[in-house]
Structure 1
Amino acid sequence: MIKKLVSLVFVAIVAACAGFYSWSMQPISESTIEFTIKPGSSVRSSAQQIANAGVPINPVMLELLARLHGQANKFKAGPYEAEAGITPVGLISKIVRGEFSQFSFALIEGWTFKQMRQALLQNPYVKHDAAKLSDQEILAKLTTDFTQPEGLFFPDTYLFPKGVSDMDVYKRAFDQLQQHLLTAWQQRDAGASPIKTPYEALILASIVEKETGRASDREMIAGVFVNRLRLGMLLQTDPTVIYGMGDQYQGKIRKRDLQQDTPYNTYTRAGLPPTPIALVGMDALKAALNPAHTDALYFVARGDGSSQFSSNLDDHNRAVNHFIR
C-alpha cells in the first residue's frame, strides 16, 4: 500500500513537473502587451505588476519559475513589452537582460531646433521634463560652451526606452554632434577653406545643408561659399534670410525681405551668420570642410534638384534667365 502511494506521489510530481515545464515553454499571449516594473520591486511584486498590466500569466508560477532558474534577484526595473508568442521563460530572460521596450526618434537634416523641440513635445513615449524650459535653459544643462542651441544636435534615428526623459534625447544627440564635428574637423582639408573653428564649420555646413537639392552638389556649393568668404563677397544665401525672418516667413521671399537687415541676412551682412541655421548631417559637414576646388562664385537651381554653377556674373545671369526667368 505504501509503495503504491509512493508511486502515485512520484507520478504526480513527475506529471506536475512536466506540466510546469510545458507551461513555461508555451506562448503567453497572441498580442503585444506593455508593462512596467517599478524600481525596487521584488520578484513577487514584479510578477504581480506584470499580471496587473494585463499579461495573461499566473504571477505565482512566474515567480516560482524565476526562482527555479536562479533569476529571482536579477529582475531589472523599467518598461517592457510582452510580445505576441513570448513564453514565460522568454519573458523572464527579457526582464533579466533589461531589454526595455523602445521607440525610435528621428532627427531630420535641415530641421531647426524649434522643429526638434516640437517633435519631442508631440512624442507620446517621452517624459517631457524640458517642456517648460527655455532654449537657453536646455542648452545650459548640456554645455557651457555655447549660448544658442541651433545646429548643435546630430540628425539621426535614435532608439530609446519608452518613458525616457527628453533631456536624455537632447544629450545623446548633442554628444553625437560633438563627436562627428571633431572627427570632421580632424579630417578637414585645411588649405581649402578659410574656416577657422569647428563652430564656423558647423555654420557653413548648415547653409550647405539647406541649399543642397542634390547630394552630388554639396562639395560644389560649399566651394562657392568658401570662394566668396575668401574674397570678402556677401554670401547672399536665401536660407539664412528665411531663418532670420522667423515666423514672418510665409513661403516666399520678397525684395524688401532681402533688404531688411537681420543678423542672418547675408545680403546685408558680410561673412557667416552668427549661428547655424539647421541640423547638419555628416555629408554636409564633410563638404563644408572639404569643399570642391572650383572657381565658381555663383549657382542657381535648375529646377530638377541640381544646380548650375558659374564663375562670373554674366554667365550666372544667363543661367538665371534660362532656368528661372
Structure 2
Amino acid sequence: MLTAALLLFGAAFWWLHEPMPLRLQPGSQVVDLEIEHGTTANGVADVVVASGADVPVLLLQAWFRFSGQARLIKAGSYEIVPGTSPRRLLSMLVRGEETLKNVTLVEGWTFSQVLQALQKAEQLTPDTLALSPEMIMEKLGKPGVHPEGRFFPDTYTYAKGSSDLAVLKRAARAMDRRLEAAWSLRSPETPLKSPDEALILASIVEKETGKPLDRGQIGGVFTNRLRIGMPLQTDPSVIYGMGARFDGNLRKRDLQQDTPYNTYTRTGLPPTPIAMPGKAALLAAVQPAPTKALYFVSRGDGTSEFSENLDGHNRAVNKYIRGR
C-alpha cells in the first residue's frame, strides 16, 4: 500500500512539473487563453484544455482544487508558452500574469494621430472609434476640454482586449502630472499665466524642433515675443489651423489668411495646444533659456540660427534658406 502511494505521489509530482503538450494553431507559437470573470476553477480547466493544452481535464481540475488556490485564479488574457507545466500554469493564473501588449504615443503627434495609433494597436479594443472627440473627453472625465495635447507621449502597456479609452485615461493622467510638475518649476519671469498656457507653448516648441540644445532657446524666443506683444509667427500653428487644407506646402496666402491658429495675423498664444509635447518641451516652455533673440531660422540640418534683430534674421534667412 505504501509503495502504491509513493508511486502515485511520484507520478503526480512528475505530471505537475512536466511541460504540457500544446495544440498550436498554424503560425502561432503560443496558446491564447481568455479567462472570463466569474469562471469557476473547473471552468478554467475546461477553457485551458479547449484552448489547446493537451492534458486530461479531470487531472487539471483536481490539481486546481487540491492546490488550495482555486479561488485565487484571476480573470484575464494569458499566453501558454511551450514548456509550461500545470504547476507553472496555476502560478501564472493566480499571480495574474496577463499577456501585455504596448502602444507608443510619439512626441509631436496630434490627437488624430494618437487615435489612429490606438485603432491600429494589437488586440486593443477600439472603443473610441464610434465617439467624437468631445464624447471621448467626457468619457475621460474632462468634459469641455479640447483633446489636443492633453496626453503624454510615452509607451503604454495593456492587457489584450483592453479598451483604448483606458490607455487614453492613463496618458491623460500622465500629462496632468507632468504639466503640474513643470508648472511648479516655472521661471518667476514667465509671461505665461496658467498651466494651460504652458502646455500650448510647449506644444509649439515641440513642433519647432527635435534638437535638445535648441529647445530652451526656442522657448526663449517665444517667451520674449509674448512679453513684448510680438506675434509668435510660428508655421506649425498656422498649419494646424489649416487642417485638411494643408497639402504639404505653406504659401504666403496661407500666412495671410486669418484663423484662430494663425500666429502671423494674431498676437499671443493660439487657443489650444497643437500637438503632444514631451517632458523636455514642457520644461523649455516654463524654463526658457536666457536669450535676447527674437528670431530663429532652420540651418537645414535640424538646428536653428538665432538672431536678436530683424537685420540679423534676414542675413540668416539669406544664408540658410536662399543660399546667398
Quickly name the TM-score band, shorter chain normalised.
over 0.9
Structure 1 residues 102 and 255: alpha-carbon distance in aligned structure 2, compared to 1, 3 A threshold? same
Give the structure 2 partner of residue 318 of structure 1. Answer: 315
Identity of aligned residues (%): 50
Alignment of 1:233-312 (within 5 A): 233-312=230-309
Displacement of 1:242 in angstroms is: 0.8
Question: Which of 223, 234, 237 is the equivalent residue of 1:226?
Answer: 223
* Residue pair 1:150, 1:275 contacting (<8 A) in 2 also: yes
In the alignment, which residue of structure 2 is the partner of 1:80?
Answer: 78
2:38 aligned partner: 40
SS of the counterpart of 2:149?
A: coil
Q: Which amino acid aligns with 2:258?
A: D
1:195-239 deviation digits (Å, cap 9, x = unpaired): 010000000000000001311110000000000000110100010
Q: CA deviation at 1:85?
A: 2.1
Amino acid at match of 2:175: L
TM-score in terms of structure 1 length: 0.94
CA RMSD of aligned residues (A): 1.4
Aligned with 1:17 (options 9, 25, 28) = 9
Deviation at 1:123, TM superposition (A): 2.2
SS in 2 for 1:105: strand
Which one of the candidate residues 3, 16, 26 is aligned to 2:18? Answer: 26
1:3 matched residue in structure 2: none
**For residue 185 of structure 1, what is the amino acid of its counterpart?**
W
Answer yes or no: is the 8 Å Cα contact 2:77–2:160 preserved in 1: yes
Greater mean deviation of Cα atoms: 113-122 or 14-23: 14-23
- Partners of 1:324 and 1:46 in 2: CA distance: 67
Amino acid at match of 1:222: G
Residue 197 (str. 1) matches residue 194 (str. 2): yes
The separation in 1 between residues aligned to 2:238 and 2:68, in whole angstroms, is 64
* 1:16-69 per-position Cα deviation (integer Å, ceiling 9, x unaligned): 221221121122257321110111111010011111111233322222222232
Query: Structure 1: how far apart are the matches of 2:206 and 2:168?
Result: 21
Find out whether 1:208 has 2:200 as its counterpart. Answer: no
Give unmatched runs, 5+ long, in structure 1: 1-5
CA distance in 2, matches of 1:284, 1:213: 9
Partners in 2 of 1:126 and 1:310 — Cα distance?
Answer: 48
Match of 1:169 in 2: 167
Residue 140 of structure 1 aligns with an amino acid whose one-letter code is E
In the TM superposition, what whole-angstrom CA distance separates every residue of 1:53-107 from its partner, at most 9, and x where no partner exists? 1123332222222223211111111111112322211111110011111101111
Shift in Å, 1:145:
6.1
Q: Relative to structure 2, which stretch is displaced further, 10-19 or 100-109?
A: 10-19
Cα distance in 1, alignment partners of residues 289 and 240 from structure 2: 26
Distance 1:29 1:318, change over 3 A: farther
In structure 2, list runs of 5 or more residues that go unmatched: 23-28
- Do structure 1's residue 133 and structure 2's residue 131 form an aligned pair? yes
